[in-house]
Amino acid sequence: MSLLSALSIICGLMLHVSCSALNNRYCVPRKTVPYQNELKLFREEGISNYSTMLMRDELGVLLLGAREAIYALDINNISDRKSAVYWRVTEEKQMECTYKGKHAEVECRNYIRTLHRVNDTAMYVCGTNAFSPTCDYMTFANGQLRLLGKQEEGKGKCPFDPFQRYSSLMVGNDLYSATSINFLGSEPVVLRSSNLALRTEFKSSWLSEPNFVYMDFVGESFDSSDGDDDKVYLFFSENAMEYDFYSKVAVSRVARVCKEDMGGQRTLQRKWTSFLKARLDCSLPEPSLPPIVQDVFLLKHEDWRKSVFYAVFTPQSSLSQVSAVCAYSMSAIRDTFNEGKFKTPVAVETSHVKWVMYTGEVPVPRPGACINNVARKMGMNRSLDLPDKTLQFIRDRPLMDEAVRPLTGGPLLVKRGALLTRIVVDHVLALDGQRYAVMFIGTENGYVQKAVNYGGEMFIIEEIQLYENPEPISILRLSSSKGQLYAGSQFGAIQMPVSNCSRYNTCVDCILARDPYCAWDFSTEQCSSVSSLPPSSNTAMQSLKEGDISQCPQPELVAAVDVTLVPENNIQLPCQLHSNLAQVLWRFSDQTLHSNHKYYIYNGGLLILSASESDAGLYTCDSVEQMNGRTYNRTMAVYRLQLYFGPAAGESTTPGNEVSNSSGSVHALNTAAPGTGPNEGNEDLLHPETQSDSGRVTRLEVAVALLSLLCLSLMGVIFWIWSRGRWECLKFAKSSGESEAKRQSGEYMHIQNRTSEIKLLGPESVRPCSANNNHSAVDFKGNGEHHFTPMANISSLDGLGYINDESEI
Binding site for ligand NAG (CB under 6 A): 38, 48-49, 77, 79-80, 111, 118-122, 137, 162-163, 379, 381, 385, 490, 497, 500, 502-503, 585, 624, 631, 633, 652, 654, 661-662, 672, 689
User: Closer CB to ligand NAG, residue 284 or residue 478?
Assistant: 478
CB closer to ligand NAG, 497 vs 567: 497
**CB-nearer residue toward ligand NAG: 320 or 443:** 443
DSSP string, 597-616: SSEEEETTEEEE-S--GGG-
Nearer to ligand NAG (CB atom), residue 166 or residue 309: 166
Quote the crossing angle between the two packed helices 2-27 and 763-771, to the nearest 10°.
120
Contacts 24+ apart (CB under 8 A), 82-90: 82/143, 82/145, 83/140, 83/143, 83/144, 83/145, 84/44, 84/145, 85/138, 85/145, 85/146, 85/147, 87/112, 87/125, 87/127, 87/136, 87/147, 89/129, 89/130
Nearest approach, Cβ of 20 to ligand NAG (angstroms)?
23
Closest to 767 in 3D by CA, of 708, 681, 693: 708
Q: Considering beta carbons, is residue 366 or 503 the nearer one to ligand NAG?
A: 503
Residue among 25 and 435 whose Cβ is closer to ligand NAG: 25
Shorter beta-carbon distance to ligand NAG: residue 197 or 346: 197
* Rounded least distance, CB 749 to ligand NAG, Å: 12
Can you say whether residue 209 is alpha, beta or left, with left for phi > 0 and alpha for psi between -120 and 50 degrees? left
Q: Closer CB to ligand NAG, residue 168 or residue 500?
A: 500
Q: Measured from the CB atom, is 75 or 282 closer to ligand NAG?
A: 75
C-alpha–C-alpha distance, residues 313 and 706, integer Å: 41
Of 671, 709, 707, 677, residue with least CA distance to 695: 677
- Indicate the length of the chain as a whole number: 809
Return the number of the residue (127 or 162) whose C-beta is nearest ligand NAG. Answer: 162
Rounded CA gap, 572 and 195, in Å?
Answer: 74
**Among candidate residues 166, 150, 61, the one with its CA nearest the CA of residue 111:** 166
Closer to ligand NAG by Cβ: residue 672 or 730: 672
Q: List, in sequence order, every residue forming a beta bridge with 494; answer none if it has no partner.
A: 41, 487
Minimum CB–partner distance for residue 81 and ligand NAG (Å): 8
Give dist(CA 584, CA 607) in Å, integer: 13
Give me the phi and psi of 746, to 5 degrees please.
-60, -25
Yes or no: say if 767 and 788 are a contact pair by the CB < 8 Å rule. Answer: yes
d(CA 590, CA 607): 18
Q: Minimal distance in Å, beta carbon 558 to ligand NAG? A: 14
Cβ neighbours around 56 below 10 Å, total: 17
Q: Which is nearer to ligand NAG, 42 or 310 (CB)?
A: 42
| Minimum CB distance to ligand NAG smaller for 502 or for 692 | 502
3-state secondary structure of 809: coil
Residue closer to ligand NAG by CB (options 471, 805) is 471
Rounded CA separation 379/106 (Å)? 55
What SS3 state is found at 786?
coil
- In angstroms, give the least distance from the CB of 717 to ligand NAG: 31
Closest distance between ligand NAG and the C-beta of residue 515, in Å?
13
Q: 81: exposed, middle or buried (C-beta count within 10 Å: 0-12, 13-18, 19+)? A: middle
- Least distance between ligand NAG and beta carbon 481 (Å): 17
- Indicate the residue among 539 and 631 with the shorter CB distance to ligand NAG: 631
Of 497 and 695, which has the nearer Cβ to ligand NAG? 497
Q: How far is the CB of 656 from ligand NAG (least distance, A)?
A: 8
Peptide bond connecting 365 to the previous residue in cis, omega within 30 degrees of 0: yes
**580 and 447 Cβ atoms separated by less than 8 Å:** no
Least separation in angstroms between residue 79's CB and ligand NAG is 4
Least distance in angstroms from the C-beta of 668 to ligand NAG: 6
| Burial 11-22, CB ≥16 within 10 A → b, else e | bbbbbbbbbbbb
Least gap, CB of 672 to ligand NAG (angstroms): 5
Q: How far apart are CA 5 and CA 319, in angstroms?
A: 23
Question: What is d(CA 156, CA 163) in angstroms, rounded to the nearest whole number?
Answer: 15
How far is the C-alpha of 804 from the C-alpha of 260, rounded, in Å?
55
Minimal distance, residue 599 CB to ligand NAG, in Å: 16
Phi-psi region of 444 (alpha: psi -120 to 50; beta: other; left: phi over 0): alpha
Distance in Å, CB of 618 to ligand NAG, minimum:
17
Question: Treating both helix axes as pointing N-terminal to C-terminal, what angle do 799-808 and 2-27 enclose, rounded to 10 degrees?
Answer: 10
- Which residues lie closer than 8 Å to 590 by C-beta, 6 or more apart? none
What one-character DSSP code corresponds to residue 46?
A: T
CB closer to ligand NAG, 233 vs 632: 632
Backbone angles phi, psi at 647, to 5 degrees: -60, 160
In the complex, minimum distance from the CB of residue 253 to ligand NAG, in angstroms, rounded to a whole number: 24
In whole angstroms, how large is the CA radius of gyration of the chain? 30
- Closest distance to ligand NAG from the beta carbon of 300 (Å): 25
Q: Residue 121 or residue 774: which is nearer to ligand NAG going by CB?
A: 121
State how beta strands 250-258 and 276-279 pair: antiparallel
- CA dist., res. 581 & res. 78, Å (int): 34
Cα of first residue to Cα of last residue in the chain, in angstroms, is 27
Task: Quote the least distance from Cβ 78 to ligand NAG, whole Å.
Answer: 8
Q: In angstroms, give the least distance from the CB of 505 to ligand NAG.
A: 8
Neighbours of 350 (CB within 10 A): 5
Smallest distance, Å, CB 503 to ligand NAG? Answer: 5
